[in-house]
Structure formats: C-alpha cells, structure tokens
C-alpha cells in the first residue's frame, strides 16, 4: 500500500509546511483599513525576485496562462506582428494563444530538444528595418523538453540589431528557481505562476511589466477587462485590488518570499543547478539520453529523459505512480510516450531527488526497460551529491 505520494512533476511543486500553515488562516476582510500594510510590502518584495527596480508587479488570480493573456492583451494591438520560436509544448501554447487573439505570429520552428536559434533571430530582427515586429516572445525554460534559453543573449541580439520590439519572457518554470534579471536583460513583460518556484498551490499569475510596457498599455487596443493593467495600477497603488483577491494564497506568498530571502536567491540558483546535475548524472549512468540535445540547453528545473526506442514512457509513468506512489511528468504532444520528466524545482534536496531517481529506476525495470542497471542511477547521483555537496559546503 502506498501511504504517501511523492511529487516530482515540474509543477505543482512541494509546499513547505511553513507556507501551508501560513495559508491555513480564517477568512479576512480584503477591504480592511490595515490591508495596505500587508499588500504594499508584498508587491515590493515580489519585484526583488524578478530583479527589477523600475518594473511594476501584477498578481492576478489565475495560472501562468492568465499572465500570458494579460501581457499580450494589455500591450499589443490586433494584427501586430510578433516573433516566437516553437520548441516545446508551452512555447507552442503561447504561440497558439497569440494567434487566437488575432496577432500575426512569425513562428520559428525548431526541433524539440533544441533551444531558441539565436542566429535566426539575429537575421530576422536585423532585416526588420521598418520595425514591423512589435514583440519577441522567449520561453526561458521549456518545461516539456527540459530546455533553457539564454534571455540575456536575446536582449543582446535585439540591441545589436537596434530593434525596439518589446521582449516578453515566459518564466513560469524558471523564475524564483534560476537566475532571472528583468532590468539587466531589458525584459518588458515577465510571467510566472505560484505553483513552481514560489512553492504555492496554483492560483496566482505573478508577473512584472517594464515602464515601456506600462506606457504601451495606455494606448493598446486589444480588448481586456479582468486583466486590465490600468485597473490594477490604480488600485494597487492604494494597497488593494480591483476585485476580491485570494487572501489565503497571498498570505502563503508572504511566507514563500520570506523563505526565499532567508535562503538567498543566489543560493537557490546554486542549489537548483547542483540538484539538476545529480539527476543528469543518473540519466548518464542509466545509458539513456536527455531530450535536451546539448549542455547549453540543459534545464536546472526539469530533466526530460528519453526511453529506449520501442519502449513506452507512459507505462513507466503509470507504473511509478500506482506501484511506488511516484508522480513523474509525462511527455507532451510531439514527445508523448517518448520521455518522462523529473521535476527538480522548489522545495527539495538531495535525499528527495534520490528517492525519485530510485523510483524511476525501479519503474523502468519493472516495465521491461532492462537496459537500465539496478542501482546505477542512484549510485551516480549519490556520488555526485556527496562529492560536490562537500565542495559547496566549503565555499
């Protein structure tokens, strides 16, 4: 009998006890006279996670998808041209949303497992002398394939081309887990969600907009109501929201930020890199391959693992869940049945990941992937964590 489930999907992530307890409070008056004393510092502290001083934070009751829609509808006009790379399910869904909202999307098709093709973007932006491209959409971490994108490099390409398009970044599975520098990288719209690096339940679309984006929102003609920046700008300035806010989640966000700042953002980034490499060491010991085709694209928040040709990754996922109570991420769309994913972001450590590696190893062997030697991945991860953990401790 499986008494407790082990969650290793790339979101939702595990919720620390201190955050769960912070949300377990009686309902409160969201128009209370003293609410601004809580809300205004909260919004300011979220800015620190995005590493922005000049940007404005917005928190909508929604998922990350709601933040996508808010970013697009507040700052663009019907028929505007935007450019985006499609290299996984979530970059595809962002493109699909833009098309359904009436934008003209120039799609750069990429092999899944690769990242944004920098030189292709350089050529396209350099050739756009008239500035017809109004926005560049970049996914910092493509959750479906375990591929990361260098956002700073995208900004450099835009600057080299002297292009004035706005830069939009999907940071849903990266912000608060890996480095994100909104101001330094010249990001205009950055979107995230509460259920990933913020270690909360799903339900908050957490985003930030540059002053350039705020200015664009004043004249943008796409229809919006619930997601209107103008309503939020005016009401947030007073420490309130233009509609009923999810106070329990906001109390949890306060506890999450306190925990993030207590560990330190740079320490969080180093921990995620350290933990991710241990998983990659396990995959190498198994003799399997990552979906991400080159080290430059390896994600530090999720590892997508290809099963051998002719094997079904969905059998691994189902067996791991029913036999061992282990939740692994599934392959989506183009890579469905070809891979499973181990999420390693948020609140976790080496021992927790060792259990995920062990469960995945047993599940693979149980369903007939005998190429994986028993104990091989666990041993490789253990040795990496032992040796490199000591090195980190001495820094």
pLDDT in tens, the chain (395 residues): 667 889 999 999 999 999 999 999 999 999 999 999 999 999 999 999 999 999 999 999 999 999 999 999 999 999 999 999 999 999 999 999 999 999 999 999 999 999 999 999 999 999 999 999 999 999 999 999 999 999 999 999 999 999 999 999 999 999 999 999 999 999 999 999 999 999 999 999 999 999 999 999 999 999 999 999 999 999 999 999 999 999 999 999 999 999 999 999 999 999 999 999 999 999 999 999 999 999 999 999 999 999 999 999 999 999 999 999 999 999 999 999 999 999 999 999 999 999 999 999 999 999 999 999 999 999 999 999 999 987 666 55
Tokens of 381: 């991860």
Triad 333, 93, 197: Cα angle to 5°: 95
For the segment(s) 6-12+265-393, the CATH number from 3.90.1150.10, 1.10.3720.10, 3.40.50.2300, 3.30.70.20 is 3.90.1150.10
Identify whether the C-beta of residue 229 lies closer than 8 Å to the C-beta of residue 58.
yes
> Within the chain, which residue ranges are assigned CATH 3.90.1150.10?
6-12+265-393
The pTM assigned to this predicted structure is 0.96
Q: What is the 3-state secondary structure (H, E, C) of 123-167?
A: HHHHHCCCCCEEEEEEECEECCCCEECCHHHHHHHHHHCCCCCEE
Select from 290, 329, 292 the least CA-distant residue to 110.
292
CA distance 77 to 286: 50
> Within the chain, which residue ranges are assigned CATH 3.40.640.10?
17-262
Neighbours of 262 (CB within 10 A): 9
CA distance 16 to 136: 36
- Only one residue has tokens 């499986």, namely 2
CA distance 217 to 205: 18
**Can you spell out the DSSP letters for 185-220?**
TT-SEEEEETTTTT-S-S-EEEEEE-HHHHHHHTT-
- Only one residue has tokens 């047993």, namely 362
Select from 143, 180, 173 the least CA-distant residue to 303.
143
CATH architecture, range 17-262: 3-Layer(aba) Sandwich (3.40)
Q: Which one-letter DSSP state was computed for residue 89?
A: H
């Amino acid at each position: 009998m499986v008494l407790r489930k082990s969650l290793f999907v790339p979101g939702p992530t595990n919720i620390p006890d201190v955050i769960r307890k912070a949300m377990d409070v009686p309902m409160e008056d969201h128009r209370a006279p003293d609410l601004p004393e809580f809300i205004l510092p909260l919004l300011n502290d979220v800015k620190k996670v995005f590493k922005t001083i000049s940007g404005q934070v917005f928190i909508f009751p929604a998922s990350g998808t709601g933040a996508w829609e808010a970013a697009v509808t507040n700052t663009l006009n019907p028929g505007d041209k935007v450019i985006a790379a499609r290299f996984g399910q979530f970059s595809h869904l962002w493109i699909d949303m833009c098309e359904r909202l009436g934008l003209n999307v120039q799609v750069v098709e990429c092999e899944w497992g690769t990242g944004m093709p920098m030189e292709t973007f350089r050529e396209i932006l350099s050739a756009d002398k008239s500035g017809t491209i109004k926005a560049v959409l970049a996914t910092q971490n493509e959750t479906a394939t375990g591929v990361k994108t260098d956002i700073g490099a995208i900004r450099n390409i835009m600057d080299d081309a002297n292009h004035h398009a706005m830069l939009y970044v999907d940071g849903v599975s990266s912000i608060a887990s890996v480095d994100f520098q909104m101001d330094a990288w010249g990001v205009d719209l950055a979107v995230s969600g509460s259920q990933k690096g913020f270690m909360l339940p799903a339900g908050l679309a957490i985003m930030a907009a540059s002053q350039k984006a705020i200015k664009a929102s004043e004249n943008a003609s796409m229809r919006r109501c619930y997601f209107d920046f103008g309503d939020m700008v005016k009401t947030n300035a007073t420490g309130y929201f233009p509609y009923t806010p999810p106070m329990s989640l906001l109390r949890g966000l306060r506890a999450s930020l306190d925990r993030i700042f207590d560990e330190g953002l740079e320490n969080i980034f180093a921990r995620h890199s350290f933990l991710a490499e241990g998983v990659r060491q396990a995959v190498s010991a198994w003799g399997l391959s990552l979906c991400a085709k080159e080290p430059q694209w390896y994600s530090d928040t999720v590892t997508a693992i290809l099963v051998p040709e002719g094997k079904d990754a969905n059998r691994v996922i189902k067996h791991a869940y029913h036999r061992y109570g282990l939740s692994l991420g599934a392959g989506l769309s183009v890579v469905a049945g070809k891979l499973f994913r181990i999420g390693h972001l948020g609140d976790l450590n080496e021992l927790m990941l060792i259990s995920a590696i062990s469960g995945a190893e047993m599940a693979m062997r149980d369903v007939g992937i005998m190429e994986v030697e028993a104990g091989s991945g666990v041993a490789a991860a253990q040795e990496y964590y032992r040796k490199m953990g000591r090195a980190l401790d001495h820094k």
